[in-house]
Amino acid sequence: MFSGSIPALITPFTTGSVDEAAFRRLVDWQIAEGSAALVPCGTTGEAPTLSNDEQHRLFAVTVEAAAGRVPVIAGCGSNDTQTALWHMQEAKALGADAALMVAPYYNRPSQAGLLAHFSYLAEKVDLPIVLYNVPGRTVTDIKPETVAELARRFPDRIIGIKDASGDMTRLTAHRLALGPGFVQLCGNDDMALQYNAGGGVGCISVTANVAPRLCAEFQAASLAGDTARAHELNERLFPLHQALFTDASPGPVKYALTRVCDWLNEEVRLPLVACSTESRRAVDAGLAHAGLI
């Protein structure tokens, strides 16, 4: 259902408010540059600092601006099951194609709790779910056996995973349990080459915000089996992948965007702050290495 380069979109702010005009322009640019789908209101979109109204408005704006040209995977996750349900219901009503559902954070549910949480959501809303496993942020880890059980119970609902665990063995575990039709998307730009080689079909990407065409070309080469071209593009992008995490994300990628798009600023919401001088130097070097500045 989903493959290729899928940016986890930043949320532009201007003097504290969501800048809808800039966001629409970002969506248009991403599609023109070859992005295969769009994810609003994920971690890179600073979802934890968005109000519910802002989050739902961004779902609507993304769907409107995309206008059916690419799918929209709305970031709907929460550590409160009822809030996650509300986000999913709004995403469905507003025309999103799927929901990205992070493992509940802070309250640290067991595997049985994760099974109950995601099962409840799958039963309540007719919207495909892409699980999002990022234990470095949530502490909770969606184990392969839990992923497999959910996908077996709800084959038309639990359709894939964004895996940012860093554990490459998960690819084979998921494929053995669920077959190649289960959508496996990398959650770490710097591991996307190896991830696709192991059976992944794309990446939900931070770097694609600022280098959408290069990321789309990399994914196309990788998925087509053009190993030489995929390695060439990966090596061109790799310093930028790393630079974008030299400070708290999305500070570095918002700074990077100001270097290539004169219609965006680097404003973030507290508790995040603008990235450090050292991070800016790394980002500038990564952009230069990629040929973007």
- Is-contact 232 51, C-beta < 8 A? no
Query: Which band of pLDDT confidence, cut at 50, 70 and 90, is reported for residue 232?
Result: very high
CA neighbor of 52 nearest in space, from 16, 105, 88: 88
Active-site hit among 132, 195, 254, 255: 132
Q: What is the CB neighbour count within 10 angstroms for residue 199? A: 13
Q: pTM here?
A: 0.97
Task: Please name the amino acid found at residue 111.
Answer: Q
**pLDDT average, residue stretch 79-107:** 98
195 part of the active site: no
What pLDDT score was predicted for residue 1? 82
- Check pLDDT > 90 for residue 283: yes
Percent of the chain at pLDDT above 70? 100
Is the N-terminal amide bond of 250 cis, ω within 30° of 0?
Answer: yes
- Check pLDDT > 90 for residue 282: yes
**pLDDT average, residue stretch 262-285:** 98
What pLDDT score was predicted for residue 244? 98
Tokens of 59: 């779902």
162 part of the active site: yes
**pLDDT average, residue stretch 243-265:** 98
Residue 184: phi, psi to the nearest 5? -115, 115
- Check pLDDT > 90 for residue 5: yes
On the CB side of 93, how many CA atoms lie within 13 Å of its CA? 8
Q: Is 253 helix (H, G, I), strand (E, B) or coil?
A: helix
Query: Which band of pLDDT confidence, cut at 50, 70 and 90, is reported for residue 177?
Result: very high
Find the radius of gyration of the CA atoms of the chain: 18
In sequence order, what E strands does 9-149 have? Answer: 13-14, 17-18, 73-75, 98-102, 129-133
Active-site hit among 92, 162, 254, 255: 162
**Which residues are bridge partners to 160 per DSSP?**
130, 183
What pLDDT score was predicted for residue 97? 98
What pLDDT score was predicted for residue 83? 98
Q: What is the CB neighbour count within 10 angstroms for residue 167? A: 13
What rounded mean pLDDT belongs to the chain? 98
Query: Which band of pLDDT confidence, cut at 50, 70 and 90, is reported for residue 238?
Result: very high
